[in-house]
Amino acid sequence: MMAAAKQLAGAGELRENEPMSRHTSWRVGGPADQFFMPSSIEDLSHFLAGLDPAMPLFWHGVGSNLLVRDGGIRGVVISAARILRSIDRVEPYLVTAGSGAPCTQLARQCLRWGIGPSEFFAGIPGTVGGALAMNAGAHGGETWERVESVRTIDRAGEIHERAPSEYTVAYRSVTGPSDE
């Protein structure tokens, strides 16, 4: 199984039996069967397209406040924190942020640009992707109040552009298209 997955990894890095304690803020946790760090979106897309659809998949940001049991994680952990860290200003009041960008970094950059209200992101540990997944919030602000669109990738490696209306968003809960 590992040899087949290594062929899918392309330029990314695939590790077997990777201790999750290396990837969590609490520094605890058993091994992931496989831990993949793609080198690009294209690399991630290629990896997902060739992955067995039955293989359990776990997305990993920066591991803030993540507890992993001693038994580890079965399947593949994908850490996109290396590739999805960009924060770009595309219009005076429109910013794009990669899912691997730390929320604190997003808050600081928006403050530098004089764009607000974004300071609530400074109180959120973790990444923009994690904040989107759970509608994270602090100090009266929530993530999805600020979303114009999201780009997702599905289990087949296809990229989709989604509007907020395609999601059901509630307090610390987000439901959207499955397998993206």
Domain with 98 in it: what CATH number? 3.30.465.10
Which backbone phi and psi does 113 adopt, to 5 degrees?
-80, -10
Q: What is the pLDDT of residues 4-35, one digit of tens each?
A: 555 566 789 999 999 999 999 999 999 999 99
More confident residue, 37 or 139: 37
In a domain, 180, yes or no: no
- Measured CA to CA, the distance from residue 158 to residue 44 in angstroms comes to 10
Q: What is the pLDDT of residues 165-179, one digit of tens each?
A: 999 999 999 999 988
**Averaged pLDDT of the chain:** 92
Domain that holds residue 74: 2-79
- Measured CA to CA, the distance from residue 135 to residue 141 in angstroms comes to 10
Of 46, 79, 112, which marks where a domain is finished? 79
Of 17, 52, 79, which marks where a domain is finished? 79
What sign does the dihedral 141-144-150-154 (CA atoms) show? positive
What share of the chain has pLDDT > 90, as a percent?
A: 78
Which residues, at least 6 apart from 125, have a Cβ–Cβ distance to it below 8 Å? Answer: 25, 64, 65, 103, 104
**Mean per-residue pLDDT, 60-78:** 93
- Measured CA to CA, the distance from residue 102 to residue 108 in angstroms comes to 10
Number of domains in the chain: 2
- Lowest-confidence region among 3-12, 87-96, 98-107, 120-129: 3-12
**Given this model, what pLDDT does residue 119 score?**
82
In a domain, 120, yes or no: yes
Do 96 and 71 sit in the same domain of this protein?
no
Between the CA of residue 104 and those of 78, 85, 115, what are the distances in Å? Answer: 22, 12, 14
**Given this model, what pLDDT does residue 170 score?**
95
Do 117 and 157 sit in the same domain of this protein?
yes
